[in-house]
């Protein structure tokens, strides 16, 4: 299995980093594309792109439109854009293939392969909501990084693991990144039986 992981200039590249860690542990081939704005935002959030790149099998810049993965004849099974800026969301929703990320996303849609998009921004404009709507109609999985409290996260790492786990769920890859919901789990410090 091969997965393209694209990181754009939205906040939250650490989610892609956690995802890449798990995919590496599972020996799944990964193709990491970081947009130019993505590199800039990673600079603010993680210092530099060295660690995230080291977790991928192959890595590319957004202008490498002649890379093998740019062709729909390549064997990559799925693509994740996480985090996805509203700019890249708009480009993918409208078939505007101006770089390697948007070109690969277009390939996924036209071949009916799995495309998981994690748009991050708040609040949302009508344009962003419409772009998500249209992308959903095109077959993509729209997976915003919306946190949940019910599983008892204590740290930012817990929240990051939850988001990475949700992407792995969408890809159909088994993982233990976060503890799945179990209704009657007496061992849980958070989820109590009725009457407790
Ligand atoms: C520190 C920082 C954080 C940003 N966070 C977001 C964000 O969460 N969501 C978003 O849509 N844009 C965000 N942006 C703006 C994008 O980086 C900008 O729209 C850029 O053009 C996206 O380009 P790309 O999609 O090619 O990576 C951020 C910019 C900076 C400098």
Question: Which residue is listed with tokens 């480009």?
Answer: 91
Residue 193 lies in a domain: no
C-beta of 37 in contact with ligand 1 (< 6 A):
yes
For the chain, how many structural domains are there in total? 1
pLDDT in tens, 26-77: 999 999 999 999 999 999 999 999 999 999 999 999 999 999 999 999 879 9
Helices (H), 138-195: 156-171
Overall pTM > 0.85 = yes
- Give the residue numbers spanning the domain of 16: 2-171
Residue 178 lies in a domain: no
Pick from 5, 8, 9, 39 the residue to mutate for probing ligand 1's pocket: most ligand atoms within 8 Å of its CB: 9
Beta bridge partners of 81: 6, 117
Residue 129 lies in a domain: yes
* CATH, residue 55: 3.40.50.1950
Write the CB contacts of 130 (distance below 8 Å, at least 6 apart in sequence): 93
Q: Which of 57-61, 64-68, 121-125, 185-189 has the lowest mean pLDDT?
A: 185-189
C-beta of 8 in contact with ligand 1 (< 6 A):
yes
C-beta of 64 in contact with ligand 1 (< 6 A):
no
Residue 192 lies in a domain: no
Residue 97 lies in a domain: yes
Residue 189 lies in a domain: no
Write the CB contacts of 157 (distance below 8 Å, at least 6 apart in sequence): none
Residue 185 lies in a domain: no
Residue 119 lies in a domain: yes
> Residue 11 CA: which ligand 1 atom is closest?
8
C-beta of 160 in contact with ligand 1 (< 6 A):
no
C-beta of 145 in contact with ligand 1 (< 6 A):
no
């Amino acid at each position: 299995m091969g997965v393209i992981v694209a990181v754009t200039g939205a906040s939250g590249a650490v989610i892609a980093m956690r995802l890449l860690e798990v995919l590496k542990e599972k020996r799944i081939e990964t193709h990491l594309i970081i947009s130019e704005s993505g590199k800039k935002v990673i600079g603010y959030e993680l210092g530099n792109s060295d660690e995230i790149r080291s977790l991928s099998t192959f890595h590319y810049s957004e202008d490498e439109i002649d890379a093998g993965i740019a062709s729909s004849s390549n064997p990559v099974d799925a693509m994740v854009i996480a985090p996805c800026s509203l700019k890249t969301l708009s480009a993918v929703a409208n078939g505007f293939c101006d770089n390697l990320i948007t070109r690969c996303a277009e390939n996924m849609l036209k071949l009916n392969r799995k495309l998981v998009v994690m748009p991050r921004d708040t609040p949302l404009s009508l344009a962003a909501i419409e772009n998500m709507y249209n992308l959903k109609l095109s077959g993509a999985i729209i997976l915003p990084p919306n946190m949940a409290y019910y599983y008892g996260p204590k740290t930012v790492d817990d929240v990051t693991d939850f988001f990475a786990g949700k992407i792995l769920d969408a890809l159909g890859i088994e993982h233990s990144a976060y503890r799945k919901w179990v209704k009657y789990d007496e061992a849980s410090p958070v989820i109590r039986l009725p009457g407790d």
